[in-house]
Structure 1
């Protein structure tokens, strides 16, 4: 007689556990991270540290400004940063202040105007860079920058902070 109650209760327990597990998976699947803010209005790069972005280099500030404005309606772009030739030159001087030999033969006219585009999460950086290269043929250079991939290629994974979902530190 002791086994009969177990035979009746066992199927009920199995069904209850199955429903509970199914519900847990459904809730977990429905939980998504908060959407990141999107602002495609070009802002100065100073003070920002993108770690997953596309960099477009231009020979002139007007070329950079035109390119930056073109991202206003680009649904793959999340943030757009700009750096004028003068700002690039000042940044280069700071980087190489202890290496005057590296500065020889280079002047402010050589510094590029830069647009840095942080894409929405999930965007393939290499594919997007290729699309932007086609879209902006006047860019002197277009490159995808993925700091996590660079760190991994150097065998230094775990020694540097991981790039957050936002694409900037």
Structure 2
């Protein structure tokens, strides 16, 4: 084999090795995220940190009725449900060290909700606008994108500390 053919063969082998290494990295990255369950899941036990929508309802039944349609929407990656009772439990946990806030709160004052993570590449605000008109029984649809999340971070008490970076999945 002459020198030119050897260099060509070595170059071809290098390209194949680089492509294989990239494929391995992509496979590892895609399998390192949490598995995604299909259908609506309870919000409890999930820490949603990425861009999301929160759809508030007046009743648990309205929320439960809307959840399956949202989970089937191709522009939606994950749907988490939270009943009034679950919202009250979360409220009590968040404010466990602030009894004055627990004393003034009540389950009756909280809304059942869906927390929605959009599919990759979906415009959060366009999705919010579409769902606002589509889910007629929704009380309110809030978008939490970069600006809204940054504003929320300024309202955290100093004792909370700096949160961990949010993974691409949108949940920790």
* TM-score under structure 2 length normalisation: 0.67
RMSD: 3.6
Q: Secondary structure at the match of 1:116?
A: strand
- 1:50-95 CA-partner distances (Å, limit 9, x unpaired): 1221110111000000110112320011111101110101212233
Superposed displacement of residue 126, structure 1: 1.3
More helix by share: 2
Q: 1:56-75 to 2 correspondence within 5 Å?
A: 56-75=55-74
* Structure-2 change in CA distance of 1:117 and 1:40 (3 Å): farther
Superposed displacement of residue 96, structure 1: 3.0
d(CA) in 2 for partners of 1:44 and 1:77?
A: 16
2:107 is equivalent to residue 108 of structure 1: yes
- Assess if the C-alpha contact under 8 Å between 1:71 and 1:80 holds in 2: yes
d(CA) in 2 for partners of 1:95 and 1:38?
A: 26
Q: 1:34-53 to 2 correspondence within 5 Å?
A: 34=30, 39-52=37-50, 53=52
Superposed displacement of residue 153, structure 1: 8.7
* Structure-2 change in CA distance of 1:91 and 1:37 (3 Å): closer
Larger displacement relative to structure 2 (124-133 or 31-40): 31-40
- Assess if the C-alpha contact under 8 Å between 1:148 and 1:162 holds in 2: no
Aligned length, in residue pairs: 157
Specify the structure having the higher radius of gyration (Cα). Answer: 1
- Structure 1 runs of 4+ aligned residues shifted over 2 Å read 30-40, 93-97, 101-104, 146-155, 159-163
Structure 1 unpaired stretches of 5+: 1-22
- Assess if the C-alpha contact under 8 Å between 2:71 and 2:77 holds in 1: no
- 1:11-45 CA-partner distances (Å, limit 9, x unpaired): xxxxxxxxxxxx9xx99xx9977498654411111
